[in-house]
Homo-oligomer: A and B are copies of this chain.
Amino acid sequence: MRVLGVDPGLTRCGVGVVDGTPGSPLTLVHVGVIRTPAEEELALRLVGIERGIEDVLDRFRPEAVAVERVFAQHNVSTVMGTAQAAGIALLCAARRGLPVALHTPSEAKAAITGSGRADKAQVTMMVTRLLRLKEAPRPADAADALALAICHVWRGGAVSRLAAAQQLYRRGGR
């Protein structure tokens, strides 16, 4: 199963693609960060995020997309842009009929470190180890996106199949 994880943001949107199945070793397919300039108009930044996500979907053809769930309580100054970047990722995935899932940061951390309150260094260390990389993934920002993708591989098979079935059912019903 190939999963794209997205750590949404306007200035830096982390993207990580991982191959794996629960109980088998994981493989890193791609890691990167989509950046949009802070001085650019919001609408153009959203177009930049869409292009970046579409490019990753085109090149790596994931079967599912996992996006970090954004909470209204956190970082009030940036939360709207983060929510909008997350919305674009969901839109791009759903437009292609890909199943999507939202995982909280705590869920992703707990899945790969055993603790929902693990710090960034611990998450990066476990991502590096689980993907059997010689050094920490670069850019460092994107470790969270890989953590989401790994979380989804491990939690996700059943959820994704369910979501896909629901989508097919809904389409058939219309």
Residue in chain B with minimal CB distance to A91: B46
Render A43-68 as a binary contact track against B, CB cut-off 8 A, 1 for contact. Answer: 11011001000000000000000000
Least CB distance, A77 to chain B, in whole angstroms: 8
Tell me if A147 counts as interface (CB < 8 A to partner B): no
Tell me if A84 counts as interface (CB < 8 A to partner B): yes
Chain B residues near A72 (CB-CB < 8 A): 72, 76, 79-80
Tell me if A1 counts as interface (CB < 8 A to partner B): no
Our pick among B70, B93, B166 for the contact of A80 (Cβ within 8 Å) is B70
The A interface, classified by DSSP as helix, strand, loop or mixed, is: helix
Chain B residues near A47 (CB-CB < 8 A): 91, 94-95
Tell me if A170 counts as interface (CB < 8 A to partner B): yes
Least CB distance, A91 to chain B, in whole angstroms: 4
Let me know if A90 and B40 touch, CB within 8 A.
no
Task: Determine the distance from Cα of A65 to Cα of B36 in the docked complex, in whole angstroms.
Answer: 22
Let me know if B50 and A91 touch, CB within 8 A.
yes
Let me know if B163 and A94 touch, CB within 8 A.
no
Q: A41-B94, A73-B76, A83-B83 are in contact. List 17 more A-B contacts (CB 8 A).
A: A41-B100, A41-B167, A43-B91, A43-B94, A44-B170, A46-B90, A46-B94, A47-B91, A47-B94, A50-B91, A50-B95, A72-B79, A72-B80, A80-B83, A83-B87, A85-B87, A91-B91
Q: Which residues of A contact B (CB under 8 A)?
A: 40-44, 46-47, 50, 70-73, 76, 79-80, 83-88, 90-91, 93-95, 100, 102, 163, 166-167, 170
